[in-house]
């Protein structure tokens, strides 16, 4: 099966992906596929999780990077490679280069999480911190390539990258031959394009559905326009799919072979990450959890059996802490509120006694006494509570109001 691509690149075919699979033998792991009883009950059909978060370097990116660098001519290898990334692509390029004996330089934003910077260095790359946004980092890497002759390794807009990522699709068909729907997160589009090439050639009946974060969804307007278009200021916690413009090569594949592109909210992303951690015991980054977020948002929209690709697990611990708190709040298991009470001995103890009867676990208490909006004998108390769900949250708020407290959300 051949199909049109934009630009000077050659079309990809199934044999390209199969060749990449042979090349990656012994390099990339055949990642496990785990069943999810909870998601299966929601969807009404078997749901399996393809765990690329357990891949070497913590994401699927090693696959494409290794295939791309393997295909370089000897003189190109001698010049070294350069990449720009905030995390996953950086680590994939660094490890692939080390395995192939190629010198690598990776540009990362100044604010990149320290664990990702350290991991990229540990895999053997020279890391240069430049710029505060990815566009600035990308420009610096491309300038370095022009100045030094190093080969720029694009994160998604190259046929070799896409062929490498497509090996995920071959593994899915081998591990779950009865699959009817494959759900894949989309940033620039390399992963979903590669999976679509492999899957549609072998099983054209299988639906391939892409997922983007609402605040960084460049594919819906691009598909509507019939060409890749840029969106301004993409914003999402899912930095792995925070891309402002589709790649030319993956876009053409997505346009022809991907059945649908959906979007998910930030609340859905945080809830999905929490579910992966609690129910599946899997550490997944927000981009990797985007597929689970789509299943949670509209569970009956997917024909089963379903395979949801967990594309990565590299998440900064501090970000994880914030996301989990956000996810608990979205699930009604974390309640923040403020109360006005009299500034006298025993007032706080009385309040805490009421919360104890309501079985709301107090995580944190803060006092404000200097706000000019407060009366002379008033104090404002900020409470962070662990609750049992939306109904329990409503019960807590109702009981506090009945007790005479002024509740401020």
Instruction: Quickly tell me which residue has 């049992």 as its tokens.
Output: 388
CB 305 within 8 A of CB 179: yes
Annotated active-site residue in 40, 271, 297, 311: 311
How many Cβ atoms are within 10 Å of 30's Cβ, its own excluded? 15
Annotated active-site residue in 50, 61, 116, 242: 61
Cα angle for residues 202, 205, 209 (degrees, 5° grid): 100
Q: Burial, 244: exposed, middle or buried (Cβ in 10 Å; 0-12, 13-18, 19+)? A: middle
Active site residue 388: no
What is the C-alpha separation between 407 and 337, in angstroms, rounded? 7
Q: Burial, 270: exposed, middle or buried (Cβ in 10 Å; 0-12, 13-18, 19+)? A: buried
Does the bond joining 305 to the residue before it have cis omega, within 30 degrees of 0? yes
Active site residue 356: no
Instruction: Quickly tell me which residue has 């909006």 as its tokens.
Output: 373
Residues known to be catalytic = 61, 311
């Amino acid at each position: 099966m051949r199909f049109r691509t934009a630009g000077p690149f050659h079309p990809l075919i199934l044999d390209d992906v199969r060749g990449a699979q042979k090349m990656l033998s012994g390099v990339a792991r055949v990642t496990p596929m785990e069943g999810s009883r909870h998601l299966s009950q929601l969807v009404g059909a078997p749901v399996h999780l393809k765990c690329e978060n357990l891949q070497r370097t913590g994401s699927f990116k090693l696959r494409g990077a290794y295939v791309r660098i393997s295909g370089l001519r000897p003189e190109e290898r001698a010049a070294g490679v350069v990449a720009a990334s905030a995390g996953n692509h950086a680590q994939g390029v660094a490890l692939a280069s080390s395995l192939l004996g190629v010198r690598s330089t990776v540009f990362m934003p100044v604010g990149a999480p320290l664990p990702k910077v350290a991991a990229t260095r540990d895999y053997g790359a020279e890391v240069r911190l430049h710029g505060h946004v990815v566009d600035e980092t990308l420009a610096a890497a491309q300038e370095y390539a022009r100045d030094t002759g190093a080969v720029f390794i694009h994160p998604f807009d190259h046929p070799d990258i896409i062929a490498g990522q497509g090996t995920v699709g071959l593994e899915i068909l081998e591990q779950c031959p009865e699959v009817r729907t494959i759900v894949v997160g989309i940033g620039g589009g390399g992963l979903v394009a590669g999976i679509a090439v492999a899957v549609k050639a072998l099983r054209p009946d299988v639906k391939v559905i892409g997922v983007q974060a609402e605040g960084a969804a460049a594919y819906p307007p691009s598909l509507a326009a019939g060409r890749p278009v840029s969106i301004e200021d993409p914003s999402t916690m899912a930095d792995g799919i925070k891309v402002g413009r589709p790649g030319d090569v993956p876009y053409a594949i997505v346009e022809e072979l991907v059945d649908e592109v959906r979007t998910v909210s930030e609340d859905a992303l945080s809830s999905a990450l929490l579910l992966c951690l609690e129910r599946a015991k899997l550490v997944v980054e927000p981009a990797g959890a985007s597929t689970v977020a789509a299943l949670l948002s509209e569970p009956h929209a997917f024909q089963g059996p379903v395979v949801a690709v967990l594309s990565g697990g590299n998440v900064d611990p501090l970000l994880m802490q914030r996301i989990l708190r956000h996810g608990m709040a979205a699930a009604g298991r974390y309640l923040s509120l403020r109360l006005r009470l009299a500034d006298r001995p025993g007032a706080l103890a009385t309040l805490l006694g009421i919360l104890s009867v309501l079985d709301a676990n107090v995580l944190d208490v803060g006092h404000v006494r200097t706000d000019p909006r407060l009366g002379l004998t008033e104090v404002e108390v900020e409470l962070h509570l662990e609750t049992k769900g939306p109904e329990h949250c409503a019960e807590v708020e109702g009981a506090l109001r009945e007790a005479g407290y002024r509740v401020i959300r």
